[in-house]
Amino acid sequence: MLEAGMKAPAFTLPDKEGNLVSLSDFAGKRVVLYFYPKDNTPGCTRQACAFAAAYEEFKTLEAVVIGISRDSAASHQKFADKHGLPFILLSDPELTAIQAYGVWQEKKLYGKVSMGVVRTTFVIDGHGVIEKVMPKVKPDTNAEEVLSYLRG
């Protein structure tokens, strides 16, 4: 697992319109990078809507919000349109960034073991260094925890 003080792994992934977005595009800005399991599921929707509700404050704090899941760009487009999500959603079906950030892990649900994305948030500074790692975050409180951290 990545830790604070480590260089954030570089990535280039398509957004909901299919445009390629790289971490390096945001040099000089703080990036709130959150990984989530799946578009339009209850927890992921609550988490995304909480980030959307707080989006103006993230902008005030000069932080870019990026969500990454395995879903397709088309799925992200529908998810963003349905819930009015103003931030960047990136598609990672090949698990490039998901594995680089160590969030593809064994999960247990109702006694069944499977591999999946563990909901994790990273705050990356303007130099591409991880400032904070928030593992196994709760969908309902994640956005507020990140804001609290960014406010200092």
49 a catalytic residue: no
Selected catalytic residue, list 44, 65, 98, 143: 44
Where are the extended beta strands (E) located within 36-144?
63-69, 88-91, 104-109, 112-117, 120-124, 130-134
Residues 6 or more apart whose Cβ sits within 8 Å of residue 60:
none
CB neighbours (10 Å) of residue 80? 21
The tokens for 55 are 């989006």
How distant, in Å, are the alpha carbons of 23, 37, 44 from that of 136? 22, 11, 13
E-state strands within 43-86: 63-69
Report, as residue numbers or ranges, the catalytic residues.
44
